[in-house]
């Protein structure tokens, strides 16, 4: 039976796309008051009208701490905070510019820091924080050096903050490759081939779906005894 989130407030940063969107849908279906955060007003509006339930949208760029401060004032109390936001750039390490690296760090690491800093005292003691890392933290992959370092930073934050912020639960979901709009930077013809080839190398024989990862995030959010955990949901990438 799916846990009820009736009367709970769930803030999904990155809830306009991919795994965040699938989670926002799931939380709304479970009765939560869902707040979705992203930068694109068009994507926010589309999410608001395509998800059934109680959905509020906020155009916020996580890279600006002042915008996160304003968001925290607007959404005064939260039960569950989730952030999927990332700006991943895949290139060989020696080709990465400081601007590339700064863009990645500012969204995923500083974004999570700003959110936790300004929301921790607004999250109910029975509530939770769910961060998104990724399988690159555990297994080397050429072109993913900073992505790997950032994903590992999410794992470290969850383990440490589960102690510092207790009884609030803090976990990281570590996806393997998942078919989401994050892969739309690939030319259409290459996209299916790349995801197909990665999928066929996995024990499950395919890449993941946003819905499968939303199920895992929903578990981390609602299971009251899970904290300080890095949950790998990766089709067996590290088996
Ligand atoms: N997809 C994969 O194969 C994969 C594999 C391993 C790990 N992951 C991790 O899983 C997480 C979710 O990935 P996904 O594929 O679901 O991503 P996605 O479809 O690209 O969605 C990213 C979301 O974050 C929002 N966002 C990005 N930058 C933001 C900013 N500065 N401020 C506010 N919102 C921002 C985007 O909205 P706007 O652009 O409108 O702001 C969008 O809603 C990421 O952390 C990613 O690193 C993904």
Positions of the chain with pLDDT lower than 70, given as ranges: none
Ligand 1 neighbour 178 (Cβ under 6 A): yes
pLDDT for position 170: 99
CA distances from residue 174 to 10, 21, 206 in whole angstroms, order as listed: 20, 17, 17
Whether 177 is in the pocket of ligand 1, judged by its Cβ within 6 Å, is yes
Q: Domain segments of the chain: what residues?
A: 9-182+210-232
Q: Is the CB of 27 under 6 A from ligand 1?
A: no
Report the nearest-CA residue for atom 11 of ligand 1: 84
Measured in whole angstroms, the distance separating CA 188 from the mean position of its chain's CA atoms is 24
pLDDT at res. 206? 98
Q: Is 181 in the pocket of ligand 1 (CB under 6 A)?
A: yes
Tens of pLDDT, residues 112-145 = 999 999 999 999 999 999 999 999 999 999 999 9
pLDDT of residue 141: 92
**pLDDT at position 120, please?**
98
| Nearest CA, atom 19, ligand 1 | 18
Q: Which residue, chain included where needed, has tokens 């190398």?
A: 201
Quick one: pLDDT at residue 210? 98
Contact (Cβ atoms closer than 8 angstroms) between residue 81 and residue 115: yes
- Expressed in angstroms and rounded, the spacing between residue 17 Cα and the centre of ligand 1 is 7
Contact 82, 11 (CB under 8 A): yes
pLDDT value, residue 189: 87
Number of residues that make up the chain? 239
Q: What pTM value is reported for the model? A: 0.98
Q: What is the CA(182)–ligand 1 centre distance, in A?
A: 7
Architecture category of domain 9-182+210-232 in CATH: 3-Layer(aba) Sandwich (3.40)
């Amino acid at each position: 039976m799916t846990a009820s989130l009736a009367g709970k407030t769930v803030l999904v940063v990155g809830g306009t796309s991919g795994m965040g969107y699938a989670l926002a849908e799931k939380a709304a279906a479970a009765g939560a008051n869902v707040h979705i955060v992203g930068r694109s007003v068009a994507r926010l509006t589309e999410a608001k009208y395509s998800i059934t339930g109680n959905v509020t949208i906020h155009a916020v760029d996580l890279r600006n701490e002042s915008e996160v401060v304003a968001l925290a004032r607007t959404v005064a109390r939260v039960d569950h905070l989730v952030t999927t936001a990332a700006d991943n750039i895949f290139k060989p390490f020696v080709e990465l510019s400081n601007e590339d690296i700064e863009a990645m760090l500012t969204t995923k690491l500083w974004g999570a820091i700003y959110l936790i800093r300004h929301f921790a005292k607004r999250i109910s003691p029975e509530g939770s924080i769910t961060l998104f890392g990724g399988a690159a933290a555990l297994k080397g992959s050429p072109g993913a050096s900073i992505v790997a370092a950032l994903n590992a930073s999410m794992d470290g934050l969850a383990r440490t903050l589960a102690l510092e912020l207790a009884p609030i639960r803090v976990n990281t979901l570590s996806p393997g490759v998942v078919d989401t709009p994050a892969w739309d930077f690939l030319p259409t013809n290459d996209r299916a081939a790349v995801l197909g080839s990665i999928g066929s190398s996995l024990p499950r024989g395919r890449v993941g779906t946003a819905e499968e990862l939303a199920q895992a995030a929903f578990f981390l959010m609602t299971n009251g005894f899970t904290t300080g955990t890095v949950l790998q949901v990766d089709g067996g990438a590290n088996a």
